Structure 1
Amino acid sequence: MEIRQGAYLITDNKDRIDIDFVVSSLQTTYWATNRQREIIIDSIDNSIFISLFKGTEQIGFSRIVTDKVTFAWIADVFIDERYRETGLGKWLVQSTTDHPSIKNVLLQLLKTRDAHGLYEQSGFTRDECLTKRNK
């Protein structure tokens, strides 16, 4: 998948990802602060992921965990701070939910602490999510 919009590119091409950018960015988020580099890399390797670029610089990321039929979990969505409030986050979320592997999946889920408005623009609702954590 490749979608262009002016100087910006959204792609799921594994050869394009800047893994150092993704790891360092995720480790600054409230949800992945304590994730080790190896765990982040393994989670990416076992997911569909989307990278957002301005020219050759990666500035955003999201990933999808899915069976491609009944369930898709959207995770680790972020935009570099310099590019927030520009509409790129909305574009990244919409491109993620429209990814060919999941656009017809029956249930798309995600969890957020502070970006409900962004996700509601893409059709998500504020339903309660149950979680179980393994140690």
Structure 2
Amino acid sequence: MITFSTDISRIDRELVYQFLSEETGRLKGQPPLALDVVLTKSLCFGGYLPGGEQVAFARAITDTITFAYLCDLFVVKDHRGEGISKLLMQAILAHPDLKNVQSIGLATPDAHELYSQFGFVRVDPSERLMIRFNKNS
């Protein structure tokens, strides 16, 4: 059973830094300390196995009322295909700081099917950007 936490002290910084510098390139060329800024300026979600091993991550940049931007969502390769990304999305959208936000944006090169299941729609010709409007606000 996987659990999710927004406690950044639990984040496996080496795992996340490696992903953000090598997989996405977002932190490429930045020192590892740059990750601390990223983590403290975002609402971060870690996904953990019962023994405490982190296998998933995502973060949201938000004002908690009008807009949030979801980024850097990943599941480690050995645990992909287990439904963890769907559980992570459920945890993110249920979080008190995000569940009533008017809109949530994201950009994805290849995970449109995942996000579409949660109400996100494509909004630009590049077909990377997606947005979800909260029907309750």
Query: Which residue of the partner structure matches residue 120 of structure 1?
Result: 116
Compared with structure 1, are the counterparts of its residues 31 and 107 closer, same or farther at alpha carbon in structure 2 (3 Å cutoff)? farther
- Report runs of 4+ in structure 1 exceeding 4 Å deviation: none
Distance (Å, rounded) in 2 between the aligned partners of 1:96 and 1:41: 21
Identity of aligned residues (%): 32
Q: Secondary structure at the match of 2:85?
A: helix
Trace 1:1-135 onto structure 2 (pairs within 5 A).
Answer: 6=1, 8-32=2-26, 34=28, 36=30, 37-55=32-50, 56-128=52-124, 129=129
**Number of paired residues?**
123
Gaps of 5+ in 2: 130-137
Q: Shift in Å at residue 14 of structure 1?
A: 2.2
Q: Secondary structure at the match of 2:92?
A: helix
Compared with structure 1, are the counterparts of its residues 16 and 71 closer, same or farther at alpha carbon in structure 2 (3 Å cutoff)? same
Give TM-score, length-normalised by structure 1.
0.84
* Cα deviation 1:87-133 (Å, max 9, x = unaligned): 1011112211221101000011111011111111111111125xxxx
Q: Secondary structure at the match of 1:89?
A: helix
Give TM-score, length-normalised by structure 2.
0.82
Alignment root-mean-square deviation, CA: 1.5
